[in-house]
Chains A and B, each alone.
Chain A
Amino acid sequence: MEFNENFILGCSAIGAGLAVIAGIGPGVGQGIAAGHAASAVGRNPGAQSQIRSMMLLGQAVAETTGLYGLLIAFLLLFLKPLLP
């Protein structure tokens, strides 16, 4: 069975869509981090700036996995590595 170019491009688009599902995890994780940071500020308002910087750091690290998925989607959509 021979695959033509359009079939491969369509499958790449589906794969890109599936890869971006990786964004769910970081979304949940960042939400949890922000929620805990909010409750921490509620308990200890004096440490607000420190808590904020720690939250941003943790969220940025958690974001990495989602960005990997996004990167794969970009590769599939714009560099088209699967085309012969």
Chain B
Amino acid sequence: MEHGILLSGGSDVDFMIHGVFKYSFFGHEVWITTTHVCLFLVILILCGFSVAAGRCMRKAAARAASGEVSDETPGGFQNVVELIVEKLDNMVDTSMEKFAPGYYNYIGTVFIFILVSNISGLLGLRPPTADYGVTLPLALVTFLLIRVNKWRYQKPLTIWEDYCSPLPKWLPIWVPINIISNLAVPVSLSLRLFANVLSGTAMMALVYGLLGVFASIWPAALHVYFDLFSGAIQTYVFCMLTMTYISNEIGDGVRH
């Protein structure tokens, strides 16, 4: 069953993370796993794409600066790059409105990274986002952004009232519960992405592992659903939720 999930080891139904080699890090045994390898490949793809995109745009800018362009239409690759940037910026614009410019870069980066990670199942890799060690840091960055923006844009008294929220502010019985509900944000954010991608990976491993030779061409349809559709939706949801949480904390954006 080597043709199913390339970097997943030999036995028939297997979608676990495997160690590639181990080394000693200050006396601890640390493993380089298949997740690291797939992550490295994804990063390599993205680096190659961004270098090519940057060179293309620089060339276009140079042509525009030399003044010989007025009737020239952008070529194929430049069109694709501009389309991606425009779509991402539009997405940030619609949900963050006037605070969007500060978050174009972060949301765009996270979106492209998660999308390519999720889709890498099509290339025969084990998606890096099917490892909780990859999704948890992403969610923790979101959590950090939420907290920082809360303290930047809200008065300490308002924050305290928020923590006591259903009850008046001199009766802080609900504080622990509100703190727990705040801490649940990164957990649910990371687990949602992780479990979705993992379930897709497990499903494909089951199809390839249990059906053997019968799983020849039609699993492509399953790939379209589990890798493309589900991956794209989860990417979109992760970014939308990040933006919604952040703009909730920003409120009307008056710094105190």
Which residues does A use to contact B, with CB under 8 Å?
A: 53, 56-57, 60-61, 63-64, 67-68, 70-71, 74, 78
B192 touches A56 (CB 8 A): no
In this assembly, does B198 line the interface, its C-beta being within 8 Å of a C-beta of chain A? Answer: yes
Residues of B within 8 A of A74 (CB): 198-199, 202
A67 near B237: Cβ-Cβ < 8 Å: no
* A64-B240 in contact given A71-B195, A78-B16 (Cβ < 8 Å): no
Residue ranges of B at the interface with A (Cβ–Cβ < 8 Å): 16, 188, 191-192, 194-196, 198-199, 202, 233-234, 236-237, 240-241
Query: Which applies to chain B's interface (DSSP): helix, strand, loop or mixed?
Result: helix
B132's nearest neighbour on chain A, judged by CB, is: A71
Inter-chain contact A68/B199, CB cutoff 8 Å? no
Nearest residue in B to A66 (C-beta to C-beta)? B195
Chain A nearest CB from B201 CB (Å) reads 10
A64 and B192 contact, Cβ closer than 8 Å, known pairs A70-B199, A78-B16: yes
- List 9 A-B residue pairs with CB atoms under 8 Å apart, sorted by A's residue number: A53-B236, A53-B240, A57-B241, A61-B192, A64-B191, A67-B195, A67-B199, A70-B195, A74-B202
Partner among B191, B194, B196, B237 whose Cβ is within 8 Å of the Cβ of A57: B237
| Chain B residue at smallest Cβ distance from A69 | B195
Give the chain A neighbours of B241 by CB distance below 8 A.
57, 61
Most chain B beta-carbon contacts within 10 A, residue among A53, A61, A67: A67
CB of A34 to closest CB in B, whole Å: 13
Q: A60-B233, A74-B198 are in contact. Are A68 and B240 (CB under 8 A)?
A: no
- The CA-CA distance from A65 to B234 in the complex, in Å, is 15
Distance, CA A56 to CA B241, complexed state (A): 11
Nearest chain B residue, comparing its CB with the CB of A77? B202
Give the docked Cα–Cα distance between A28 and B202 (Å).
Answer: 24
Please name all residues of chain A whose beta carbon is closer than 8 Å to the beta carbon of B198 when the two chains form the complex.
Answer: 71, 74
B237 to chain A: which residues have CB within 8 Å? 56-57, 60-61
CB-based contact A64/B16 at 8 Å: no
Q: Which residues of A contact B240 (CB under 8 A)?
A: 53, 57
